[in-house]
């Protein structure tokens, strides 16, 4: 992700903020639960409404029974029916009609509702049908009498008043739902805001600030002290930021030190080059005493130059610049030999080192010969300095790699060198050593896409393993 990308995504606003999403989510959840409550309750409402109608119808029928035998005047019948909200009422017992009242009887009945069918599915279906009707339907509702369950009450009535009542009821439920969901949402929102969003915001702000100014002490988060997950995250973040800050300060100091060393080295190398020239002339002096000290002077300066160039390489260069070409691996060993051998001979002409090259001729690599000679040269120097008299190399293919084994017959690596293997300045077990040779060699191998490892070491000698990637084939076809 680009710098801008990160900046963009840390600006949280509007609907994207956690609080807004939680708010919407809460409202939706409450609404859904209200619907789940509404559907069965509207069906129940319809059932209760019918039951009330049956009860009033029965009351009307009772009043009529009082006047048993006599023909009830139509006017009274009308009033009773009006009160029950019915066009007609009939009571039946064992299938026999025992009484009937009627007024403006409609010519048709659109639907018969049996109160004994009270399964949930049936009730839901009935309620739904009532709600979606446009016209008034005539319903015949049949249910048992409350007084005498053997008697069935039959009421003929209009559906519209029921629908109006159901609409009314729905409106009330809707209003209630809105109020409830707003209250719930507000409550949930505030508690989430307080418990999560606010402490998370603290973390986010601190992270943004720390990213912008990691060296600023103020950028480190002040944990709220809460013991929940977010509180712990804050504490961990604070610890992490402090560690990072310390590391950063250290790194800045080291970088400053590094560039200072690089500058000193650079000047020192020039001075040493001059000294080298002078001592070369001393070696040709007439005075035998002067001639005698000249080689030691040269050796001392040589050491100083090595130290300088090693240190410079280590602190000054970030990333090697390689000039890659196709090379024969066995040439690498021979080149190293010609670079290193004269120096060692100058020091110790008696003990000529034996060089054995067993690398198959055809092995090729892509590499920078000068750099690789430096790497292998460091390894070879170490071996000779440790007292090895024989060096041999062999190589083999291994998957996409070529492995080169460099074996010496020296005394093996000292413990301190093994413990601090590849650690700059720490691995030297040699008087006058820098402890940089191995790490520089490893650096060079790694920048070639390879690796350097200590394969084995013991009293019979040591073997280093240098891994090279095989050259890419098609490069050969189009150079």
Q: How far is the CB of 384 from Mg ion (least distance, A)?
A: 10
Binding to Mg ion by residue 437, rule CB under 5 A?
yes
| In the complex, least distance from residue 328 CB atom to ligand ADP, rounded to whole angstroms | 24
Per CB under 6 A, 408 contacts ligand ADP: yes
Instruction: Indicate whether 443 belongs to the interface with ligand ADP (CB under 6 A).
Output: no
Pick what 408 binds: Mg ion, ligand ADP, none; C-beta below 5 to 8 Å, kind-dependent. ligand ADP
Q: Cα separation of 394 and 374, whole Å?
A: 19
Q: Among residues 143 and 435, whose Cβ is nearest to ligand ADP?
A: 435
Residues numbered 332 to 391 that lie near Mg ion (CB under 5 A) are 382
For helices 198-212 and 3-10, the axis angle rounded to 10 degrees is 150
| 201 interface partner picked from Mg ion, ligand ADP, none, CB below 5 to 8 A per type | none
Q: Check binding of 437 to ligand ADP (CB under 6 A).
A: yes
Q: Is residue 315 part of the contact set for ligand ADP (CB under 6 A)?
A: no
Residue 430 binds which one of ligand ADP, Mg ion, none, with CB within 5 to 8 A depending on kind?
A: ligand ADP
Residue 153 binding partner per list ligand ADP, Mg ion, none, with a CB distance cut-off of 5 to 8 Å that depends on partner kind: none
- For ligand ADP, the closer of residues 223 and 461 by Cβ is 461
Paired with 89 in beta bridges are 101, 155
The single residue among 27, 61, 386, 404 that binds ligand ADP, judged by CB under 6 A, is 386
74-84 vs 18-66: helix crossing angle, rounded to 10:
160
388-393: long-range pairs with CB below 8 Å, 24+ = 388/353, 388/461, 389/351, 389/353, 389/354, 390/353, 390/354, 390/356, 391/353, 391/354, 391/355, 391/356, 392/355, 392/356, 392/357, 392/358, 393/333, 393/356, 393/357, 393/358, 393/359
Residue 462 backbone class (left: φ over 0; alpha: ψ -120 to 50; beta: rest): beta
107 backbone dihedrals φ, ψ, rounded to 5°? -80, -20
Nearer CB in complex with ligand ADP: 223/437:
437
Specify burial of residue 308 (Cβ count, 10 A radius: 0-12, 13-18, 19+): buried
What φ, ψ does residue 405 adopt, rounded to 5°?
Answer: -105, 125
Residue 379 burial by CB count (10 A; 0-12/13-18/19+): exposed, middle or buried? buried
For position 462 contacting Mg ion by CB under 5 A, the verdict is: no
Range in contact with ligand ADP (rule: CB under 6 A) among 207-215, 225-233, 324-332, 381-389: 381-389
Which of ligand ADP, Mg ion, none does residue 265 bind (CB under 5 to 8 Å by kind)? none
The verdict on 452 binding ligand ADP (CB under 6 A) reads no
Separation CA 402–CA 327 (nearest Å) = 13
Piece of the chain touching ligand ADP by CB under 6 A; list 57-65, 87-95, 199-207, 377-385: 377-385
The helix (H) or strand (E) run that includes residue 186 is: helix 160-192
> Using the rule CB under 6 A, is 378 a contact of ligand ADP?
yes
Tell whether residue 438 is a contact of ligand ADP (CB under 6 A): yes
Residue 417 binds ligand ADP, judged by CB under 6 A: yes
Binding site for ligand ADP (CB under 6 A): 378, 382-383, 386, 408, 410, 412-414, 417, 427-430, 433-438, 462
Binding site for Mg ion (CB under 5 A): 382, 437
């Amino acid at each position: 992700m680009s710098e801008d990308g990160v900046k963009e995504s840390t600006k949280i606003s509007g609907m994207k903020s956690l609080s807004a999403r939680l708010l919407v989510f809460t409202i939706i959840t409450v609404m859904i639960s209200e619907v789940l409550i509404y559907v069965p309750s509207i069906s129940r409402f319809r059932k209760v409404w019918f039951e009330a109608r049956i009860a009033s119808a029965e009351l009307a029928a009772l009043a009529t029974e009082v006047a048993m035998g006599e023909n009830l005047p139509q006017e009274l019948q009308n009033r009773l029916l009006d009160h029950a909200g019915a066009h007609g009422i009939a009571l039946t017992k064992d299938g026999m009609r025992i009484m009937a009242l009627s007024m403006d009887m409609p010519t048709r009945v659109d639907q018969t509702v049996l109160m004994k069918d009270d399964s949930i599915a049936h009730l839901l279906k009935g309620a739904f049908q009532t709600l979606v009707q446009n016209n008034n339907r005539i319903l015949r509702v049949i249910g048992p009498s409350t007084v005498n369950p053997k008697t069935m009450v039959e009421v003929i009535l209009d559906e519209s008043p029921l629908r109006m009542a159901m609409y009314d009821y729905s409106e009330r439920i809707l209003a209630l739902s809105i109020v409830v969901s707003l209250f719930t949402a507000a409550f949930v929102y505030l508690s989430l805001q307080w418990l999560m969003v606010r402490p998370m915001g603290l973390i986010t702000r601190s992270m943004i600030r720390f990213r912008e100014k990691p060296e600023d002490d103020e950028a480190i988060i002040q944990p709220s002290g809460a013991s929940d997950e977010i509180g712990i995250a804050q504490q961990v973040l604070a610890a992490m930021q402090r560690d990072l800050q310390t590391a950063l300060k250290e790194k800045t100091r080291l970088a400053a030190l590094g560039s200072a060393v690089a500058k000193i080295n650079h000047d020192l190398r020039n001075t040493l080059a001059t000294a080298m020239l002078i001592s070369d002339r001393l070696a040709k002096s007439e005075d035998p005493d002067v001639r005698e000290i000249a080689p030691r002077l040269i050796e001392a300066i040589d050491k100083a130059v090595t130290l300088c160039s090693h240190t410079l390489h280590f602190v000054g260069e970030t990333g090697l610049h390689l000039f890659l070409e196709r090379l024969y691996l066995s040439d690498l060993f021979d080149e190293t030999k010609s670079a290193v051998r004269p120096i060692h001979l100058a020091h110790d002409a008696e003990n000529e080192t034996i060089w054995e090259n067993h690398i198959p001729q055809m092995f090729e690599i892509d590499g920078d010969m000068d750099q690789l000679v430096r790497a292998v040269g460091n390894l070879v120097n170490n071996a000779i300095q440790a007292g090895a008299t024989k060096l041999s190399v062999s190589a083999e293919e291994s998957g996409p790699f070529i492995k080169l084994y460099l074996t010496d017959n020296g005394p093996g690596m000292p413990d301190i060198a093994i413990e601090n293997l590849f650690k700059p300045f720490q691995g030297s077990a040699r008087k006058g050593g820098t402890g940089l040779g191995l790490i520089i060699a490893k650096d060079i191998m790694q920048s070639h896409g390879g690796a350097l490892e200590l394969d084995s070491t013991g009293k019979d000698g040591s073997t280093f393993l240098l891994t090279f990637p095989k050259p890419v084939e098609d490069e050969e076809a189009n150079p």
